[in-house]
Amino acid sequence: MSDHTPGEVREHGTTEPVEGRYVWVEYDGRPHRIYYEHAGDGDVPLLLLHTAGADSRQWRHVLNDPDVLDDFSVYAFDLPWHGRSFPPMDEGEDWRDGDYQLTTESYAGYIEAVVDVLGLENPVAMGCSMGGAIVLELAYAHADTFRGVVGVESTAFAPKRDIGYLDDPSVNAEVVRGEWAEGLQAPMSPQRYKRESWWVYAQGGPGVYTGDLYFYATDWDGREKVSDIDTDECGVHLLTGEYDYSALPEDTEFVGDRIDGATVEIMDDLGHFPMVENPKRFREYALPALSSLR
């Protein structure tokens, strides 16, 4: 086992145990070239889901965590339109002519398609923010695929998430998205980690963040669904940072109160991107949750 402490800077010449690959995935009749990272050879597959307008870089500390890699075979993929996954690869069709818009159905569909092509058997899914929302849908409607989910900053309903003007042509989205994302983190989280959120959010394609927010702030409403989740079929653990003002602790507690058998932890001194902003603190909460789903 590696003695690496997640979050620490590595020595010159260190190669991380993380491999990046591309896999072609057909969903809704359209071909997609999906980028994913993989680490670890544990018995249980663990699929990590990034936040709106971001990509799998957010999970780099979990992909390097020796305690996770011992037990799990970890996968983190970039949704189409995000990170190193292009928009759909259809010949002859110019995706710039349309608008990207994620829905509950398409988000769950992409995830199911990736699980299928990677051959992940009965995986755990851990997602943050909009990823923390879709894992509730996975536990509700896809419990035959997933053994359990960890929802990070999960809400059943988040109508306040889109503050408007994020796709206004007079607003420099490269800067404003980053500022908005950075402010969602806890003031005591180390700046050297928090600025990674700023950087990732500076790099999205036009309309992608707001297209994701269509799922998160408009299409997704799990308030009725969550009480029908059967945790004997699919375990549910919910972790939310006390400084998150997008997914408030009480929003997550609302969800936890309605799922028989779910656990809820409000994480001290953490905000909306806990795995990015303070990986050492986040793992104090994430490792027990993951361990219980092995």
The residues that touch another protein, with contacts defined as CB under 8 A, are 160, 163-165, 168, 170-172, 175-176, 179-180, 183-184, 186-188, 242-245, 248
* Neighbouring C-alpha atoms within 13 Å toward the C-beta of 256: 20
Which residue, 31 or 159, has its beta carbon nearer to another protein? 159
Beta-sheet strands, E only, within 171-271: 235-241, 263-267
Instruction: Report CA torsion sign: 242, 156, 85, 172.
Output: negative
Burial environment of residue 75 by CB neighbours within 10 A (0 to 12, 13 to 18, 19 or more): buried
Distance, CA of 256 to CA of 263 (rounded, Å): 7
Helices and strands, counts by H and E, the chain? 9, 8
Which residue, 48 or 184, has its beta carbon nearer to another protein? 184
Which residue, 160 or 280, has its beta carbon nearer to another protein? 160
Structure tokens at 76: 């983190």
Task: Please report, in angstroms and rounded to a whole number, the separation of the first and last CA atoms in the chain.
Answer: 18
Which residue, 63 or 158, has its beta carbon nearer to another protein? 158
Is residue 10 within 8 A of residue 4, CB to CB? The reply is yes
* Neighbouring C-alpha atoms within 13 Å toward the C-beta of 206: 11
Distance, CA of 182 to CA of 95 (rounded, Å): 30
Which residue, 166 or 287, has its beta carbon nearer to another protein? 166
Taking the complex as a whole, how short is the minimal distance between the CB of residue 197 and another protein, in angstroms?
Answer: 12
Which residue, 48 or 248, has its beta carbon nearer to another protein? 248
Taking the complex as a whole, how short is the minimal distance between the CB of residue 162 and another protein, in angstroms?
Answer: 11
